[in-house]
């Protein structure tokens, strides 16, 4: 199980390197300015002294910029510490099951799980599963009542063929009565955390072998055996929801812990 945290260090080092470069450039310019100023003052005509007001003004400006860069340097240090702490926290998630906001779920060992939430009752709903090429591989009917419903999938297409593990998109399409406002849908997906990485935009976790999620999109973290307890099957709606309820009760009896990420 590989954990890529080198990118976290690279991001911090890039920011620190930029600050150091700016500071060194300013320091060189400042020394050059002071050398020119003292040389001109040394060789000025005592009977016609040069106007030093502009030099003084520039000196004050250089001092202000230098203080700003020093402040940025301290902020970079705080940022690097915060980033390191977040990275260390994310590494502790490896091997656990994350519930993440999104619609791309990992199929792992013929198991995939997601939830969808309606803000109101609908007439009907359709659940469509697509591969990453946009091809529809599976469709089924979903729940119609408002609230959150679980969906489990055994990785088989509409013809019963077992598909390869990887990333698949879940699309839930509700239908409402004519004249009604369309219902809003929120989907979350589940997956085992397999790695950690980062770039200039933030820290990410890997779910399975093909899905990446932002650290800020994590809703809950569950024990590593949670995903193994999913009773998979090409089902949804009341049947899937019922199985989800049974799973939660079993988890409670076996002491499975759930940590909600705020």
Query: Are residues 193 and 207 in contact, defined by beta-carbon separation less than 8 angstroms?
Result: yes
Q: What is the mean pLDDT of residues 105-128?
A: 95
Query: Are residues 1 and 195 in contact, defined by beta-carbon separation less than 8 angstroms?
Result: yes
pLDDT of residue 260: 52
Residue 17 pLDDT more than 60? no
Question: Residue 50: which pLDDT band, with cuts at 50, 70 and 90?
Answer: low
Work out the burial of residue 245: count CB atoms within 10 Å of its CB; fewer than 13 is exposed, 13-18 middle, 19 or more buried.
exposed
Cα–Cα distance between 64 and 37 in angstroms, integer?
18
pTM above 0.95, yes or no: no
Q: What is the mean pLDDT of residues 164-186?
A: 95
Predicted confidence (pLDDT) per residue in 147-167, tens digit: 999 999 999 999 999 999 999
Query: Are residues 132 and 172 in contact, defined by beta-carbon separation less than 8 angstroms?
Result: no
Cα–Cα distance between 166 and 168 in angstroms, integer?
7
pLDDT of residue 157: 95
Cα–Cα distance between 146 and 97 in angstroms, integer?
26
97-260 folds as Immunoglobulin-like (2.60.40)
Predicted confidence (pLDDT) per residue in 83-98, tens digit: 666 666 778 888 899 9
Q: What is the mean pLDDT of residues 164-192?
A: 95
Q: Where are the domains of the chain?
A: 6-91, 97-260
Six-digit token string for 74: 């301290």
Instruction: Indicate the length of the chain as a whole number.
Output: 262
């Amino acid at each position: 199980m590989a954990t890529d945290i080198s990118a976290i260090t690279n991001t911090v080092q890039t920011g620190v390197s930029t600050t150091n470069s700016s500071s060194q450039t300013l320091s060189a310019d400042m020394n050059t300015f002071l050398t020119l100023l003292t040389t001109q003052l040394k060789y000025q005509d005592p009977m016609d002294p040069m106007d030093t007001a502009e030099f003084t003004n520039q000196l004050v400006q250089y001092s202000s910029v230098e203080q700003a860069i020093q402040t940025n340097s301290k902020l970079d240090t705080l940022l690097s510490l915060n980033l390191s702490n977040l990275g260390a926290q994310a590494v502790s998630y490896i091997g656990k099951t994350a519930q993440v906001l999104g619609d791309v779920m990992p199929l792992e060992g013929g198991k995939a799980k997601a939830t969808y939430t309606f803000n109101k009752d609908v007439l009907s709903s359709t659940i469509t599963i697509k591969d990453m090429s946009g091809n529809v591989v599976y469709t089924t009917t979903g729940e119609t009542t408002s609230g959150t419903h679980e969906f489990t999938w055994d990785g088989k297409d509409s013809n019963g063929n077992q598909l390869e593990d990887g990333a698949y998109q879940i699309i839930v399409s509700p239908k409402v009565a004519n004249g009604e406002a369309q219902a809003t849908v929120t989907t979350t997906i589940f997956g085992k955390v397999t790695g950690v990485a980062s770039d200039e935009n933030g820290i990410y976790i890997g779910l399975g072998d093909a899905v990446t999620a932002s650290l800020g999109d994590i809703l809950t973290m569950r024990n590593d055996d949670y995903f193994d307890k999913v009773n998979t099957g090409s089902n949804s709606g009341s049947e899937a929801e019922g199985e989800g309820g049974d799973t939660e009760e079993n988890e409670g009896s076996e002491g499975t812990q759930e940590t909600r990420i705020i």
